[in-house]
Homo-oligomer: A and B are copies of this chain.
């Protein structure tokens, strides 16, 4: 049951697509202080809180303060309050409570979840204009499915986007991209795509490329496709201020950029220097920008990533001037320590300044709305712009699209990567924890920058991170300019890394099937253990294992120098200890606590007893994988698996032929139109 409660004048965010009429009367569970409004809730000693999508800390969010305010924070740590996305859905779970709450509020929201007072959750809206949805149901799973239903079916990428993608801020030419591909292909390291970061653009101008470095983009794309590779260019939110640049000229002429209160165009500096910001919240501007993706689609591009769309602001001219003034004033004085500390931060804090976000305006639904009131929608509506543009270009084809900033609603238009991260072991674990939280909020196509974006990775970190990336729909190795080169072939352990990739490609029939079934059915592909084992008190607090699909559980190694890890099995499971697609052990294990030996080149997958999953022979790119010739793995006497597959490009998801049931009976695995081997252990 879903009830909606409105406060102030809620915005039309489009997060919810089903009609839920506003309820009158008191909000259940929360005490509401209308000044704010502020929503309070007493927490029992053992209550658990799930949700909040892309965020720091645990799968259980209790004990920290979070702030929904899309922010560019690459060096985030356990004390960070805001990341790149705002996903305001929570699940409260305890002896006397079982409900979900979605705060549809595109401005700043603070979630004090037992931080200030361990026994209380307090959620405060800065805008005061929001719809609160309270969702009750039989179980955590049921509540999430109800929520997913009202927010609409999640974005589905093409099948090739489940391949391994290599990326780096710094790939700057046709020749360099070809070389990256060649290095992979020569070593038979599987690969399906290469992300191209800001360096391909002419002076960081969207929808342009450097003619000297990319003399023939169409030819390049054709050649890449011969190699079964797609290039995936970046598009940034900011548009360079430069007369003669078509995007700037058109946008200015049509009035499609965000404006200051006096009606003049708002200027902020990002990569191209002084830039203007398309008003994606304005339908006409959004359509106009979205159509521009065609300029690259026409060269053979089939997917994009949208970046800097919190939007990040390095500075505004006004903010910078003010900082200069303050510095100059400080110079004249004999600086006390407090004054010095203030000076230290003058230029450091000129980026992403709250006052700058209050200094520009949108034309949203025909109304002038100050940016900070709708801040968290900006990336979402940029994603929508791109998705609509690509759909207009080719309505029958799926395109790849993922974004840095997001809000619930964006999940229908594209995926997200988990934001710019750092080459830290703690971020590997955070990567795992975000997966179920993101799924709850509708974000299904997701993954982290494997190996870590900023700072230098080490080869053991990359290897272990790939062992988690094997399971994430988006599997991308990405690194920042100036950091150690992070392509697999740079490392001594490249053979081990390649072997781990073979596991990814061998598991593709299962991973794609589970992704599609969960997405089409409005379910979670990744779940906290508590979803599947609601009565199990140990499972409730497991923070480093998550359920994957209906049959499996994953538990990666995330500690440096470790040669194994502890695992809690909430039921009997089969451990598959992979070294490669062709080299693995099958170890039946009983419910309970276990230490699992896992050498650097080994990664575990757990299959529930009584379940079976398909393993293909793998391949060097997605289309090279034979989804019809499969070896069934498991620990069961009788079992069935519903395998979903489709053409990977079109949108006919409901065709009957897309689902084939594989049954195991009498020691034989059988499925229509499939060649099956049975490697299932007898129970």
| Proximity string of chain A (334-352) to chain B, C-beta cutoff 8 Å, 1 when within and 0 when not | 1111001001111110110
Q: Which residues of B contact A63 (CB under 8 A)?
A: 458, 460-461, 560-561
When chains A and B are docked, how far (Å) is the Cα of A62 from the Cα of B560?
A: 8
Among the stretches A112-120, A279-287, A523-531, the one at the interface with B is: A112-120
Contact call B78/A426, Cβ cutoff below 8 A: yes
When chains A and B are docked, how far (Å) is the Cα of A343 from the Cα of B77?
A: 25
**Does A328 touch B at the CB level, under 8 Å?**
yes
Q: Which of A509-564 contact B (CB under 8 A)?
A: 537-538, 541, 543, 559-564
Closest to A60 in B: B561
**Does A425 touch B at the CB level, under 8 Å?**
yes
Q: Which residues of B contact A227 (CB under 8 A)?
A: none
| Proximity string of chain A (439-468) to chain B, C-beta cutoff 8 Å, 1 when within and 0 when not | 000000000000000011011110000000
Contact call B563/A541, Cβ cutoff below 8 A: yes
Q: Which single member of B118, B334, B455, B458 contacts A458 (CB below 8 Å)?
A: B118
Q: Which of A109-159 contact B (CB under 8 A)?
A: 114-115, 117-119
Q: Which single member of B115, B456, B541 contacts A562 (CB below 8 Å)?
A: B541
Min CB–CB distance A567 → chain B (angstroms): 10
When chains A and B are docked, how far (Å) is the Cα of A334 from the Cα of B62?
A: 47
Q: Which residues of B contact A336 (CB under 8 A)?
A: 273
When chains A and B are docked, how far (Å) is the Cα of A595 from the Cα of B345?
A: 46
When chains A and B are docked, how far (Å) is the Cα of A374 from the Cα of B23?
A: 72
**Does A225 touch B at the CB level, under 8 Å?**
no
Q: Which single member of B269, B340, B566 contacts A566 (CB below 8 Å)?
A: B566
Q: Which single member of B314, B568, B600 contacts A337 (CB below 8 Å)?
A: B314
**Does A492 touch B at the CB level, under 8 Å?**
yes
Q: Which single member of B115, B119, B347, B566 contacts A343 (CB below 8 Å)?
A: B347
Closest to A117 in B: B492
**Does A469 touch B at the CB level, under 8 Å?**
no
Q: Which residues of B contact A337 (CB under 8 A)?
A: 269, 271, 273, 314
When chains A and B are docked, how far (Å) is the Cα of A46 from the Cα of B63?
A: 38
What bracket does the count of chain A residues touching chain B fall in? 35 or more
Closest to A538 in B: B595
Q: Which single member of B79, B271, B348, B560 contacts A344 (CB below 8 Å)?
A: B348
Min CB–CB distance A30 → chain B (angstroms): 21
Min CB–CB distance A45 → chain B (angstroms): 8
**Does A594 touch B at the CB level, under 8 Å?**
yes
Q: Which residues of B contact A563 (CB under 8 A)?
A: 46, 537, 541
Q: Which residues of B contact A62 (CB under 8 A)?
A: 560-561
Contact call B115/A458, Cβ cutoff below 8 A: yes
Known: A327-B324, A327-B347, A346-B347. A561 touches B118 (CB 8 A): no
Q: Which residues of B contact A505 (CB under 8 A)?
A: none
Contact call B118/A493, Cβ cutoff below 8 A: yes
Q: Which of A323-380 contact B (CB under 8 A)?
A: 324, 327-328, 330-331, 334-337, 340, 343-348, 350-351
Contact call A561/B328, Cβ cutoff below 8 A: no
Q: Which single member of B46, B315, B345, B559 contacts A348 (CB below 8 Å)?
A: B345
Contact call A340/B327, Cβ cutoff below 8 A: no
When chains A and B are docked, how far (Å) is the Cα of A193 from the Cα of B600?
A: 48
Q: Which residues of B contact A347 (CB under 8 A)?
A: 327, 343-348
**Does A417 touch B at the CB level, under 8 Å?**
no
Q: Which residues of B contact A351 (CB under 8 A)?
A: 344
Known: A63-B560, A324-B331, A560-B63. A79 touches B314 (CB 8 A): no
Q: Which single member of B271, B314, B327 contacts A327 (CB below 8 Å)?
A: B327
Q: Which residues of B contact A117 (CB under 8 A)?
A: 492
Min CB–CB distance A599 → chain B (angstroms): 9
**Does A422 touch B at the CB level, under 8 Å?**
yes
Contact call B595/A595, Cβ cutoff below 8 A: no
Q: Which residues of B contact A537 (CB under 8 A)?
A: 563
Contact call A48/B561, Cβ cutoff below 8 A: yes
Contact call B119/A492, Cβ cutoff below 8 A: yes
**Does A675 touch B at the CB level, under 8 Å?**
no
User: Which of A271, A328, A461 has the most chain B CB atoms inside 10 A of its CB?
Assistant: A328
**Does A57 touch B at the CB level, under 8 Å?**
yes
Closest to A594 in B: B593
Contact call A424/B561, Cβ cutoff below 8 A: no
| Proximity string of chain A (604-626) to chain B, C-beta cutoff 8 Å, 1 when within and 0 when not | 00000000000000000000000
**Does A419 touch B at the CB level, under 8 Å?**
no
Contact call A78/B118, Cβ cutoff below 8 A: no
Q: Which residues of B contact A346 (CB under 8 A)?
A: 347
When chains A and B are docked, how far (Å) is the Cα of A322 from the Cα of B242?
A: 34
User: Which of A62, A336, A347, A455 has the most chain B CB atoms inside 10 A of its CB?
Assistant: A347
Contact call B541/A566, Cβ cutoff below 8 A: no
When chains A and B are docked, how far (Å) is the Cα of A550 from the Cα of B314?
A: 56
Can you list 10 pairs linking A and B with CB atoms under 8 Å apart?
A: A46-B563, A60-B561, A64-B560, A78-B425, A115-B456, A119-B492, A327-B347, A543-B559, A566-B593, A593-B593
**Contacts A117-B492, A344-B348 given; 18 further ones with Cβ under 8 A?**
A45-B600, A48-B561, A60-B561, A63-B458, A64-B560, A77-B424, A78-B426, A273-B334, A273-B337, A314-B340, A315-B340, A324-B327, A343-B347, A344-B347, A345-B347, A346-B347, A541-B561, A566-B595
The 6 closest A-B pairs by CB, nearest first: A593-B595, A566-B566, A348-B348, A60-B561, A324-B331, A344-B347
